[in-house]
Amino acid sequence: MTYYKENLEYNLKRDNDTNNLKYLFELQKSFQSLLKSNIPQTKLHVISKYNIEQIKNQILALYDEVGEALREVPWKPWKFNQQFNVSKFKMELIDIFHFLINLFLLSGMNTQEVINLFKNKNKINLRRQKNGY
């Protein structure tokens, strides 16, 4: 519990996005240890049946959170006077991000790898859009 509290006091005002993402990864690891469900960092090629079960459960939880986020968005064209609860929507996005971080950790990804893969995928997506994908 002390480790979790110390991480809450971690200085988020760093110049480097990697440090900010590391901070979020560390907070999530600390939270998972409080739940006694440590997320082992491993490489996918050596993953165990237990880890595969954890990955499946994290994906299901993430999927459920996406559904909860959708319920906060007025998406029914046949229904009048729908309200968009922005604050609840934002909190559901944070829940989604928690489960994404768990999946990154379960797949052995560190923050630098996440950032690098994101940047590379962003380049691919931009190229696709320029080429009429």
Q: Where are the domains of the chain?
A: 2-130
51 close to 103: Cβ distance less than 8 angstroms: no
> What mean pLDDT value characterizes the chain?
82
Instruction: Give the rounded percent of residues in the chain with a pLDDT score beyond 90.
Output: 47
Flag whether pLDDT at 85 surpasses 70: yes
Q: What are the tens digits of pLDDT across the range 29-45?
A: 888 888 876 666 555 55
Q: What is the pLDDT of residue 18?
A: 64
CATH class held by domain 2-130: mainly alpha
The mean per-residue pLDDT over the stretch 2-19 comes to: 52
- pTM across the whole model: 0.75
Of 66, 74, 116, residue with least CA distance to 93: 66
DSSP for 33-59, written as a single string: HHTT-------GGG--HHHHHHHHHHH
